Structures are given as C-alpha cells and as structure tokens.
C-alpha cells in the first residue's frame, strides 16, 4: 500500500487508517453497542499486516477505553509493524460519564498525559483538538491558548505533530497562526460533502493534510446495512437514535445510493464500501480516510479502496445518485462525539 505525506509533516501514511470509535464499546453516550476487545486487538494486528500504518483514536471513545485497547494491541505488535498513533482531546467526562468540552491548557496537558499512559507510548505521533466547540451553540473557548498548550507538549517531546478536527477555515487560520498544523480531520462522505466548498481549498493552499472520518457514513454505505439490521440496532448504538441518515425519509434514498455503489463496484470486483471510500480518496487534498473495523474479517471488503481508481463515467453515475443537500455544511448533531 503506497503512502502519502501528511501535510508538511514527516509522517507518510497509508490511504486507509484504522478507526477506533466503535472500539470504545457501548457504555457511553456515543457508543456503537458492545464490542469485544479481543476482536479489536486482532483487527488492529490484521490491519498492520495489511500495511495500514496509522490508528486514529480519541480519549472520549469509550471514556478512555478505546485508547486502552489500542495500547494493548500495540504491545502485542512487533516493532516493525507498529503503526503511527493519532489521538484526540478536548472532550472530557465526569464521574457519571457525562461528556463536556474544554480547551483549557491545563486540562489539555492532563489529557495528553492520560492518553500517553493509556496508549503506553512515549510520544503521540499526532495529537488533535477533537472539537473547537461542543455541543453546538456552546460558548467559544480560546483556540489560540489550546494550540499553544499543544505546541508546548510538542516541544516537550510528548507529541510529535499537532492536528485539529471539525475546524472550519477561519478556525484553522487562527490555529496555524500559533503553531504548524499538520492535519485536519473533517467528516467527508458521499452524504456529507460540505468540506468541498471552502475547507479542502484552504487546506490545499496552506499545506495541511486531511484525514477524513465517516467515509462510510457510520457504516451506512458499507453495503452490509439493511433495513432489518438498522431496525435491530441496540439502544446503546448512537446511530439508532441520533443519526438522521439512518432514519426516514433519508434512509430510503441512502439505501438506493448503496445499490448504485454496488453496481459500480461489480465492474471492478469491489464492494460498495470500497467504492464509497475510493470516492473520498479521489480528491488530491484527501490524504487518508479513517475506516472503522470491528473484526479482522471486515478488512476484506475495505482494503481494495486504497488502489481503486474510479472512471469519469463511474463518478458521473455516482453523482447522479447523490441526494440533494449532501454538499451543505454538516450539522454537528449528525457527526461523532
């Protein structure tokens, strides 16, 4: 699997990254239902053997649990297979598991230390601000002070590079005035194309990489989701209640799009998931796409996205099937914690 330079950093990453949102399990506000830790560890090992060379996680996933599981997986991998570790901070929780948001420098410093401990690493390859503000409408905190705190951690050797997630162009401008920003992590999929208008051009102009999340719209575009499976999602799977793309009237049109992807993929012997991911990777400004993997066998229908080149005719067919409104800015309520 060929690699791509992440922004202007010294990190060269595979087109696919291993996502761990679901690895946090179901015992928190934005969980995906129960997850077997052994499956996660085996999936990480399988991904590493398949040349996926970076893992994206976050302190908030499972309230620290995903980072802990990643740390266990890293200990079991030989040094030559150990991937880059990317994590995120700024979402904190109380004793009852209630999530809140903080860009306070002291809080971020504590978060970095806690992530280092859970991940069992000496330095974090990429540390990202998870959200500039959370939830929607919350008073804005100082982006500048937060980035300065991360830069201090970088100079202390605790993190190697600084990234941000869910920032708009104006917020990126403020961040990069304080310290070099290696990457942005925005949502991007066939159903969430809001970054195309201004975010991608801005990052291209300023040498900032993009590692996009939810390229499969939380699994909806994988080709494995049926009405029956969606209806049976457990109550502790956030998609069952919070994602409008899994509800009507959106669900019918989204499943119709999946059938178009299935037809395109059939021409190449690829899955709908591989077509959907390849569609995001077609943009030169997109450095990599984060794919969530819960079991090793799920990699089989994803890895082919890395080298799948869609033709102009393929892209036109997909474009004709896209729902109206998918290029609009993405409401915070439909994306991850």
pLDDT of residue 194: 94
Query: pLDDT for 162-181, tens place per residue?
Result: 999 999 999 999 999 999 99
Provide the b/e sequence for 287-303 (b: ≥16 CB within 10 Å): bbbbbbbbebebbebbb
Q: How confident is the model at residue 198 (pLDDT cuts 50, 70, 90)?
A: very high
DSSP string, 52-86: --EEE--TTTTTTHHHHHHHHHHHHS-GGGPPEEE
**Contact indicator for 308, 268 with CB cutoff of 8 Å:** yes
Average pLDDT, stretch 222-238? 74
Query: pLDDT for 72-119, tens place per residue?
Result: 999 999 999 999 999 999 999 999 999 999 999 999 999 999 999 999
**Contact indicator for 63, 31 with CB cutoff of 8 Å:** no
Bridge partners of 16, per DSSP, are 289
| Residue 190 reports pLDDT greater than 60 | yes
| Residue 337 reports pLDDT greater than 80 | no
pLDDT of residue 316: 97
pLDDT of residue 297: 96
Domain spanning 12-323: CATH 3.40.50.300: no
Provide the residue ranges of all domains of the chain, joining segments of one domain with +: 12-323
What is the token pair recorded at 301?
């229908």
- The model's pTM is 0.92
Please tell me the distance from the alpha carbon of residue 136 to that of residue 147, in angstroms, as a whole number.
21
**Contact indicator for 7, 208 with CB cutoff of 8 Å:** yes
| Residue 67 reports pLDDT greater than 70 | yes
Nearest Cα residue to 299 out of 47, 117, 116: 47
Q: Calculate what percentage of the chain has a pLDDT beyond 70.
A: 94
CB neighbours of 110 closer than 8 A, spacing ≥ 6?
none
pLDDT of residue 336: 47
| Residue 294 reports pLDDT greater than 80 | yes
Average pLDDT, stretch 229-241? 70
User: What's the whole-number average pLDDT of the chain?
Assistant: 92
| Residue 230 reports pLDDT greater than 90 | no
Angle between helical axes of 272-281 and 250-266 (0-180°, round to 10):
90
Query: pLDDT for 2-45, tens place per residue?
Result: 999 999 999 999 999 999 999 999 888 888 789 999 999 999 99
Q: Among residues 30, 61, 84, 127, which one is catalytic?
A: 61
Query: Annotated catalytic, 61?
Result: yes
| Residue 328 reports pLDDT greater than 60 | no
């Amino acid at each position: 699997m060929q690699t791509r330079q992440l922004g202007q950093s010294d990190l060269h990453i595979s087109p696919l990254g291993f996502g761990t949102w679901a690895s946090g399990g179901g015992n928190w506000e934005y969980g995906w239902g129960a997850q077997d830790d052994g499956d996660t560890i085996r999936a990480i090992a399988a991904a590493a053997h398949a040349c996926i060379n970076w893992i994206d996680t976050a302190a908030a996933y499972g309230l620290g649990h995903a980072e802990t599981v990643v740390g266990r997986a890293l200990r079991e991998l030989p040094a030559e297979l150990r991937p880059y570790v990317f994590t995120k901070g700024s979402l904190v929780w109380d004793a009852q598991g209630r999530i809140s948001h903080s860009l306070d420098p002291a809080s971020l410093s504590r978060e970095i230390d806690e992530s280092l401990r859970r991940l069992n690493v000496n330095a974090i390859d990429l540390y990202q601000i998870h959200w500039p503000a959370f939830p929607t409408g919350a008073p804005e905190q100082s982006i500048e002070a937060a980035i300065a705190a991360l830069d201090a951690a970088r100079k202390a050797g605790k993190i190697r590079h600084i990234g941000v997630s869910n920032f708009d162009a104006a917020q990126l401008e403020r961040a990069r005035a304080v310290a070099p920003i290696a990457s942005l992590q925005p949502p991007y999929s066939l159903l969430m194309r809001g970054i195309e208008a201004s975010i991608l051009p801005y990052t291209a102009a300023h040498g900032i990489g993009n590692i996009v999340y939810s390229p499969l719209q939380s699994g909806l575009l994988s080709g494995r989701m049926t009405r029956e499976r969606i209806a049976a999602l457990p109550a502790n799977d956030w998609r069952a209640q919070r994602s409008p793309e899994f509800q009507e009237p959106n669900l019918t049109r989204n499943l119709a799009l999946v059938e178009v992807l299935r037809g395109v993929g059939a021409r190449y012997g690829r899955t709908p998931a591989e077509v959907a991911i390849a569609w995001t990777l077609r943009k030169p400004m997109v450095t990599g796409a984060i794919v969530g993997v819960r079991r090793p066998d799920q990699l089989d229908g994803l890895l082919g996205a890395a080298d799948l080149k869609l033709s102009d005719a393929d892209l036109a067919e997909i474009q004709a099937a896209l729902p109206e409104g998918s290029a609009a800015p993405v409401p915070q309520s439909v994306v991850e914690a």
